[in-house]
Amino acid sequence: MLNFAAFLALSTMDSAFNLIDKNKLPKHIAIIMDGNGRWAQRYGKPRVFGHRNGVKSVREVTEASAELGIKYLTLYAFSKENWKRPIMEVNTLMKLFVITVSKELSTLNKNNIRLKAIGDLSSLPKETHQALLDAMESTKNNDRMTLVLALNYSSRWELTEMAKILSKDVSQGLLSSEDITESDIEERLCTSTFPDPELMIRTSGEHRISNFLLWQLSYAELVFSDTLWPDFKKEDLYECILDFQRRERRFGMTGEQVVKS
């Protein structure tokens, strides 16, 4: 038997989900999962307690996205700058990635979800890199949704790598510098096979992009949630999608032009 508060919580969750226009879903959502450390602090626990509980939100948000019909979900799990953190935290995170990816593999396959990873993967600890390669291989034919983990990723690193590839291709005569197009750049990014995110969410009340998908977020709607990542659940995702759907996306046009198109 549900008490009144639980009933109220359930009905609010229901209404947020029901208000979403399922025909106007973003195809790709990218999330900066922030606030694990502060969440742990609130409980007087070490930061890694926040990361472990953050995994529960990863599961919830992945499940909610697949249920809704989102095709791509990218999660910023570890940036190139995160190596500056205390060694104990970094080591725990690396192990957590291995454990989580291995533990969730059968669920990913059961739910027809493909796992991809972007970033400087070969510089990750061997065990972490191998777990990712194994999971990507095992899920490569799944086509309901693609879950992209940005690991040892930063946008400036990605753009620098792209510039190296591009200049090599120019010097080898594969293309001429005068003819470089936006597509030539996109084809050389680690996201080349994914559409750009239309919605980027950052949790924990911080209003920054933090070196995340700088090229790809050019036209994304940015939604900032005050909720700390371990508290971010399905209903929080629904609220962010509703916020996205209330906005007018103009792509450089006027409001009148958008209405007519």
Contact set with ligand FPP (CB under 6 A): 33-38, 47, 51, 54-55, 58, 75, 77-78, 82, 96-97, 100-101, 149, 204
How many angstroms separate the CA atoms of 175 and 166, rounded?
Answer: 9
Q: Is residue 260 classed as helix, strand or coil in its secondary structure?
A: helix
Q: Least distance from C-beta 47 to ligand FPP, angstroms?
A: 6
Would you call 34 a catalytic residue per the annotation? yes
Nearer Cβ to ligand FPP (26/35): 35
Listed in sequence order, the residues at least 6 apart from 167 whose beta carbon sits closer than 8 Å to its beta carbon are: none
Tell me which of 18, 21, 23, 34 is the catalytic residue: 34
Nearer Cβ to ligand FPP (203/216): 203
How many angstroms separate the CA atoms of 16 and 245, rounded?
Answer: 12
Strands (DSSP E) along 23-112, which ranges? 28-32, 72-79
Which residue of this chain has its Cβ atom nearest to ligand FPP in the complex?
37
Nearer Cβ to ligand FPP (27/38): 38
Q: Least distance from C-beta 103 to ligand FPP, angstroms?
A: 9
From residue 128, alpha-carbon distances to 32, 85, 88, 95, 198 in Å are 20, 18, 16, 7, 29
Q: Least distance from C-beta 191 to ligand FPP, angstroms?
A: 17
Tell me which of 82, 109, 111, 211 is the catalytic residue: 82
Contact 254, 31 (CB under 8 A): no
Would you call 184 a catalytic residue per the annotation? no
The set of catalytic residues is: 34, 82
